[in-house]
Structure 1
């Protein structure tokens, strides 16, 4: 089936591991509430110790929120890949291939500069079918808008 025969997603579109994100943010919120409640429930703790409990809870929540950050935003001009601590903007022509091979932890983009960019926003860990569908959609977009080719 050619790119023209397959249905392209409407732009702009955002790809992200929604189940993983929901779990991480839910666990982070519950941990914050529980640790903060424990800090105020223990009578023998002083103000400094309570503050350290709350700051530790904030740290846990911050790490889990950071882990929930990855996404891929595709629009008419290109793709923005948001990973844990970095974002990168790519034009469609820079993406040569979208790869999600068996055993890969996430999608990789082969780029025109010879580099391979991990795309943590599409990861098959928790929702494999969802990740495969998103990888195919991103591949179709890259093939129709740039010089991308199919591989995996």
Structure 2
């Protein structure tokens, strides 16, 4: 019952939840357009009220853009994990294991310092098969490029 050996992608490679990103940015743009149009079409609103409508629309768009930010970039030197507000660069040797267990909202990296790093750039939300494929590809890269704990 073993899965087929994953194809190791050519570097550099970027993993990101493309469908989720499209949905978030589309909804954000539509919300911004609708709220701005409403603000401009309501005649009884003062300039300050219109500004607050447009500012609120910008805040919604900004939050959705922030939620669409996660990605993982793998290159010859290692992996760059871009989550919502933080970016972390890891050497291949720092990554001990790439995990995507059933029910996990995203991939987790087990690191050589004993911690685990969430990787929001690979998440099975909308495109489960794509996320599983990306997780397998990242795992294959980590196993082929990293050092293993029993090697010194």
Instruction: Give how far 1:8 is off.
Output: 1.1
Taking only aligned residues, the RMSD between alpha carbons, in angstroms, comes to 1.4
Query: What do the CA deviations read for 1:109-148 (whole angstroms, capped 9, x no partner)?
Result: 0000000000000000110000000000000000000026
Match of 2:11 in 1: 11
Match of 2:59 in 1: 59
Question: What runs of 5+ residues in structure 2 fail to find an aligned partner?
Answer: none
What are the equivalent positions in structure 2 for 1:108-127 lying under 5 Å apart? 108-127=108-127
**Deviation above 3 Å: which 4+ runs of structure 1?**
none
Residues 148 and 140 from structure 1, CA distance in 2 versus in 1: closer, same or farther, beyond 3 angstroms? farther
What are the equivalent positions in structure 2 for 1:35-74 lying under 5 Å apart? 35-74=35-74
| Matches of 1:128 and 1:20, distance apart in 2 | 11
Question: What runs of 5+ residues in structure 1 fail to find an aligned partner?
Answer: none
Indicate whether 1:96 and 2:110 are aligned.
Answer: no
Partner-residue secondary structure (3-state), 2:147: coil
Partner-residue secondary structure (3-state), 2:118: strand
| Matches of 1:107 and 1:94, distance apart in 2 | 16
Partner-residue secondary structure (3-state), 1:108: strand
